[in-house]
Chain A
Amino acid sequence: MVDARPDDDAAALERLAAWCLRLSPMTAADPPDGVWMDVTGCAHLHGGERSMLDLLLEHLGNQGFAGRAAAADTPGAAHAVARHGGEQVLVVPSGTHVDAMALLPVASLRIGPDIADGLRRLGFDLVGQLATTARGPLARRFGDGLLLRLDQALGRVHEPIQPVMPPEVVSVRRTFVEPLSTAEAFATVIPVLVGEACAVLERRGQGARRLDLVYERVDATIQVIQVGTARPVRDVRHLGRLLDERIEDVDPGPGVEAMRLVLPLVEPLSYAQPATDLAGDRTGEADLSELVDRLTNRLGPGKVYRLQPVESDVPERSQTPCPRCPPATIERRLHDPRDGHVPSGCWSGRSRCRRWR
């Protein structure tokens, strides 16, 4: 038994809608349990609507989601057919959604349960019965909401969907006339990719925190080199050097036919005036982030750190590593016996000072 967490569910649904962007450029979450996709002009890329929906359910199944999919002319019809159509994958041919809706129960119209009960009490079981009856009495009894949903499902009223904004990931790709396999060739391509990505970052006022360099090999396998930075960077030389140093980790195999640089994590980076010798004394903090990036990328995470003193009577526990901590005040110094105070009995729990002089 797990407590329901509606906020988490809604967030997961948003993520799922964003994931569906790979099939269509326009998707929207349909809380609590649905995702809308506008597949106009996209279905033929996946071999038709039917195979597209099969593909979608297969991918969702691989991720552990069970689902039902339907395609129809209007969002309302697709919503109803998917939930009440009785099949896992159902494609309503274009122009027949009115017929398809006619045999569905009235509850499929996205109306509240009280309205559905009221309709059933009046003898309306199917949407088809509702569509052919007079609209005036229905509107008087149940309000405009029922007729709006009916019109939306039947396509009499346009229903816009609020698409999720696709996360704009900076991605730069270069394909080659002939497969590359030497380190020198990769080192030539990397500054081009990095320069292009940095130009995009500069327009947006952002800096990269993580870079994925994807080597696409001729044999349809990819190799990904990931590097990270301690703070947002859009310095072509620095980023290029980080990627250059990892070239030796790449196995080109039969050859690399394309390279793609993806920046999955970017953060805002504003302009700062660099310190110059003209200003007299250098006031700013020394910037070690470049060095830290390079050492971290070469040695692995957790190998570059600062040590922070913590309160403990056990010397081994009196310091703790922190990856990027601000320098803290010093809480503890070793006792200098010449001060006259020598702690005695430290380990018995109570510290007593003895005065020598």
Chain B
Amino acid sequence: MFSIRSYPGGPGCQSLRPTRPSSRACARASPRSNDAGSRPSRAAALPFGLEAIDGRLPWRGLPLGAVHELHAAGPDVEVGAAPALFAAGVLARRPGPVVWIGQRRGVFVHGLLQAGLEHGRIVFVDAGKAVLLAMEEALRHPEVAGVVCELEGRLDLVASRRLQLAAEGSDVLGLLIRRSRRFDDPALRQPSAAVTRWRVGTLSSPPPLAHAPDLSGLHRPVWRLDLSRCRGGEPASWTVESCDAQGRLAMAAVLADRQAASARPRALAG
């Protein structure tokens, strides 16, 4: 599944801990921004644009050149639809080609368009059992903006460390969607060398029409976003509205702040 090849520099040569970002590097949104003539900084991060989330992350955003694990919650763990949309939304905010690796063909490009990730940017790879190998190859390619890998089953520490080292060398954003056939799989709870671990769970969205409170499910989907592991940071969780067509999250309106119910009778609604 994972070929044993000598790694340039050796696995022990580089520190596993990401360097703490300087404040100047944090301010830069992307290593390919208009900062002419400078080499991409390893500590660059991709901010979410939401102070509530960015403020809790030590890099003020998702650090580039790192691997992030995305988990699903509940029965979605078998498919990983919400984490896939989350990954698409993250990569929609970064220019450049995207490599999407899965065991077999199972991605619906129109769905990714919801989160703003256009199909022309994506190269799909059906890697069978060699998903990790394909992901490592893709992470080493410096021209790639991001790599999404759908991995089913366990990921051992050595493999995840290789992925992390590959990503650190090239400033590629690695997103690893962890799936499992089993509910509450203990393999998904094991530690890995990924920098952050997110859990994206779906919540029922509020009714779209204030005058029809029992009509649900048509509003912008709402996610419960848990940061369950974060190197150098603390776990946190948020309730967010899912990615819009530009891949941006939004904080969900607190129930108390929502629009007052209209007095219009329901019969007129349809």
Contact = CB atoms under 8 A, between A and B. Distances in A.
Interface of A: 277-278, 280-282, 286-288, 290-292, 294-295, 298-299, 303-309, 315, 318-319, 321, 326-328, 330, 332-334, 337-338, 354, 356-357
A288 B109 contact: no
A318 B110 contact: yes
A318 B109 CA distance: 9
Contacts of A280: 36-37
A135 B208 CA distance: 106
A334 B83 CA distance: 19
Nearest to B142: A286
A337 B208 CA distance: 9
A contact face: mostly helix, strand, loop, or mixed = mixed
A223 B186 CA distance: 46
18 contacts: A281-B36, A286-B96, A288-B143, A291-B99, A294-B137, A295-B125, A295-B127, A295-B138, A299-B126, A299-B134, A303-B126, A307-B119, A307-B124, A319-B119, A333-B113, A334-B113, A334-B114, A338-B208
B220 interface: yes
Interface of B: 32, 34, 36-39, 96-97, 99, 105, 107-111, 113-114, 118-128, 130, 133-134, 137-138, 141, 143-145, 208-209, 218-220, 269-270
A334 B208 CA distance: 17
A307 B208 contact: no
Nearest to B143: A286
A288 B145 CA distance: 11
A330 B141 contact: no
B141 A290 contact: yes
User: Which 6 residue pairs spanning A and B have beta carbons closest together?
Assistant: A327-B120, A286-B143, A337-B218, A291-B141, A280-B36, A307-B109
A286 B97 contact: yes
Contacts of A338: 208, 218-220
B107 A307 contact: yes
B119 A288 contact: no
Contacts of A298: 130, 133-134, 137
B112 to A, nearest CB: 9
A201 to B, nearest CB: 24
Contact of B39 (A277, A281, A307, A319): A277
Given A288-B141, A295-B137, A306-B124, A332 B219 contact: no
Contact of B125 (A290, A299, A332): A299
A354 B144 CA distance: 42
Contacts of A334: 110-111, 113-114
A309 B110 contact: yes
Nearest to A355: B270
Contacts of A309: 109-110, 119
Given A305-B124, A334-B111, 4 more contacts: A295-B138, A299-B126, A306-B120, A354-B270
Nearest to B128: A299
B99 to A, nearest CB: 7
A281 B96 CA distance: 13
A327 B119 contact: yes
A357 B211 CA distance: 11
B32 A282 contact: yes
B119 A306 contact: yes
Contact of B110 (A305, A321, A333): A333
Contacts of B145: 286
Contacts of B218: 337-338
Nearest to B109: A307
B269 to A, nearest CB: 8
A11 B270 CA distance: 70
Nearest to A275: B143
Nearest to A292: B123
Which of A291, A304, A321 has the most chain B CB atoms inside 10 A of its CB?
A291
Contacts of B130: 298-299
Contacts of B97: 286, 288
Given A307-B124, A338-B208, A315 B119 contact: no
A346 to B, nearest CB: 14
Given A278-B37, A290-B141, A333-B113, A308 B119 contact: yes
A140 B182 CA distance: 99
A304 B37 contact: no
Nearest to B220: A338
B108 A315 contact: yes
Contacts of B39: 277
Contacts of A304: 123-126
Contacts of B270: 354, 356
Nearest to B219: A338
